[in-house]
Structure 1
């Protein structure tokens, strides 16, 4: 059996894998990138049709290439984001092999490196970089049993309103995905219920600067640890319809029925926690804290940015907040679909090495794992808050590639002095 050999194998050709390939290439590290589908596949097939990037084109990109068809402040549609990565991979001449699935990675017991079983044969590599990202296995909480009369799908499988059966929709999860899907469904004429949990709610823009700029100058993107108590808090932000600030009171007045966190289900009735008003108010507190920090930054640095007093206006509570629904009979409400915008779990079952902690989570420091020669890129908070964003993963990949190049230097010395 022929065994292919390479110094470094990168698994995944999304934004993380392409970034790693660019930096490895610039350091002359021989490497190969394997992708089981197409380049940036998740942008194409695991996102809804109308999705656009949550950050403007000047920000959500790699340093070496701009989005040619879009102005700096536009929000790029998902297909164009995928096309961007295809173009970028071609520009850097990334050695990507698509349609090849990695089935297992095990450490060699009698020689350095790893043996990798793939759908097209065996590869041996000195190092392996897991660049498969954070969105691997959709999470659907085991709250509501399967029922032929009720369609339950994850946001990763939602495409557009037309794919759903007639009837009302319950969207569970008020992060960016849940909010945007609920808004799209309501605008299409559906009755929509949106289950709202704890969330951050930054302004889309404030005083002529997008929130991604504010997070940059305020040091938030480079924060190296999650703030205590915010580990499970989602962020509600959107670039849809040209970009606007998510306001749950506005969604309620628009016609979306807000409810608290989804708690339980029995005999056709969903129960919600009595935390809707608290969650919305805390989101408002987060929003106003951004405005306060921005105002202080402007004053401290003497910037000439126009004041925006209307940004501090608070809408009246909609009826659904004044009298929150705590129980909802799905059939009586006409609900035929539940969309779970409840996030993802990671799946590294193919990576059969000692690179995980007691809870099965990657054990690493800035992507350098506890298993020598194994690396992670693209995970949340890999090195900072921005690690899962396009520009953030590029910088994390640079650190990983530098570590690999350093290790190659030591190995080259060892080989040069061996008898």
Structure 2
């Protein structure tokens, strides 16, 4: 198989890898981008059919390219995002090699750099950037035993309601994915149950401005770490149907049965924590606090934004909140499908062992690995709250390109030889 050399190998041609390629090109650094599938594969082929972005495209894009197929205040479909990323790759002339999987990265013995083993040969590179993103291995908690009569699948395997067998559906996880899937199933006429854990619940729009605007002007996108105790709190926000504020009480009035956090299962009986009302109240507090901060910002800056008193109206608790279901007999209610919207774990088993901890998580600071020459882009909270978004990973990639430039300068330095002047 062929062997070659380059300065930087970028692994992954999604939004993070393409952002990295643009900055490396601008810095004049030779590189290759290796993608085991195709550009924007996850957006086009892994997401469910009706998925749209959580942010309007005026905000959730690369600074150097606008969306041309959708209005600035609209939410792009998954295929529009895939088209956008493919067009961006062409715009920057990204040196992407598709259908080339990286199987191992090893430190070269007694030499600078790494040997990158792939399904299409080996490449020697002085630097390697892992841009495979956070959505690598779907996580399904081992709560419900596998059975022939209940289909269990992760949210990344869901496409539409027609793929599921007839019968009620339980969706576990009430972040953006779980909420949108549950609402879609309910609208399709399915009896739907939704397990709701701790969450933040920002307004979709408030006083004529999207929540991405409010997080921006209030400095919340720049938060370096999540609040203490909120490391695993999801964000319940939706761009579906033109974008709307997620209201769990309204979902219940629309016909979805809300449950607390899924805890265990014995036989066919699934148990849920008695935390549904608390989770919803905490989501309300998060929602109302953002409204308060927005109002204060408007007043302090003398802005003429329209009043919106209706935003503070809270529906009464539905019966499933005041009288929560703590045990659900899956067989008795006829649950045919469980969809686990429970997130992902990373897989960096192909990187040098020193680059990850005992759980396989990257050892890094702002994307700079403890293993010199290894870098990461696209990690949640890599440098700020916005790091997982298209625009956020672009800024993180710029920082990594700068770090590579600095290290190249050190590597190319040669001390000047001075001769002592004779007396």
User: Do they fold alike, i.e. is TM over 0.5?
Assistant: yes
1:309 deviates by 0.2
Q: Deviations over 1:198-222 (max 9, x none)?
A: 0000000000100000000000101
Aligned partner of 1:217 in structure 2 is 217
Conserved 8 A contact 1:54-1:239: yes
Residues of 2 paired with 1:223 and 1:198: CA distance? 19
Aligned partner of 2:406 in structure 1 is 406
Aligned partner of 1:55 in structure 2 is 55
2:150 corresponds to 1:176: no
Conserved 8 A contact 2:69-2:80: no
Q: Deviations over 1:148-193 (max 9, x none)?
A: 1100000000000000000000000000000000000000000000
Conserved 8 A contact 1:269-1:329: yes
1:254 deviates by 0.4
Residues of 2 paired with 1:226 and 1:131: CA distance? 22
1:416 deviates by 9.0
1:413 deviates by 2.1
Aligned partner of 1:74 in structure 2 is 74
Aligned partner of 2:231 in structure 1 is 231
Task: Rate the CA distance shift 1:268–1:30 in 2: closer, same or farther, 3 A.
Answer: same
Partner secondary structure for residue 73 of structure 1:
coil
1:359 deviates by 3.9
Aligned partner of 1:206 in structure 2 is 206
Q: Deviations over 1:233-261 (max 9, x none)?
A: 00000000000000000000000000001
Q: Deviations over 1:359-400 (max 9, x none)?
A: 432111111110100000000110000001000000000000
Aligned partner of 1:141 in structure 2 is 141
1:71 deviates by 1.0
Aligned partner of 2:285 in structure 1 is 285
Residues of 2 paired with 1:381 and 1:64: CA distance? 22
Q: Report the RMSD for the aligned CA atoms in angstroms.
A: 1.1
Segment drifting more, 1-10 vs 137-146? 1-10
Conserved 8 A contact 1:105-1:353: no
Aligned partner of 1:159 in structure 2 is 159
2:349 corresponds to 1:349: yes
Aligned partner of 1:387 in structure 2 is 387
Conserved 8 A contact 1:107-1:353: no
Aligned partner of 1:30 in structure 2 is 30
1:358 deviates by 4.3
Compute the TM-score of the two structures, normalised by the length of structure 1: 0.98
- Residues paired across the two proteins, number: 417
Conserved 8 A contact 2:347-2:360: no
Residues of 1 paired with 2:343 and 2:300: CA distance? 38
Structure 2, unaligned stretches of length 5 or more? 418-423
Conserved 8 A contact 2:60-2:391: yes
Q: Deviations over 1:63-92 (max 9, x none)?
A: 111111211101000011011000000000
Partner secondary structure for residue 112 of structure 2:
coil
Residues of 1 paired with 2:309 and 2:220: CA distance? 24
Conserved 8 A contact 2:348-2:356: no
Q: Deviations over 1:312-355 (max 9, x none)?
A: 00001111112111111111111100000000000001112411
Compute the TM-score of the two structures, normalised by the length of structure 2: 0.97
Residues of 1 paired with 2:99 and 2:331: CA distance? 43
Matches within 5 A, 1:231-310: 231-310=231-310
Partner secondary structure for residue 317 of structure 2:
coil
Aligned partner of 2:93 in structure 1 is 93
1:415 deviates by 9.3
Conserved 8 A contact 2:198-2:283: yes
Aligned partner of 2:421 in structure 1 is none
Q: Deviations over 1:265-288 (max 9, x none)?
A: 011010111111110111001100
Segment drifting more, 350-359 vs 37-46? 350-359
Q: Deviations over 1:9-42 (max 9, x none)?
A: 0000000000000000000000000000010111
Conserved 8 A contact 1:37-1:99: yes
Conserved 8 A contact 1:199-1:236: yes
Matches within 5 A, 1:323-402: 323-402=323-402
Residues of 2 paired with 1:331 and 1:353: CA distance? 45
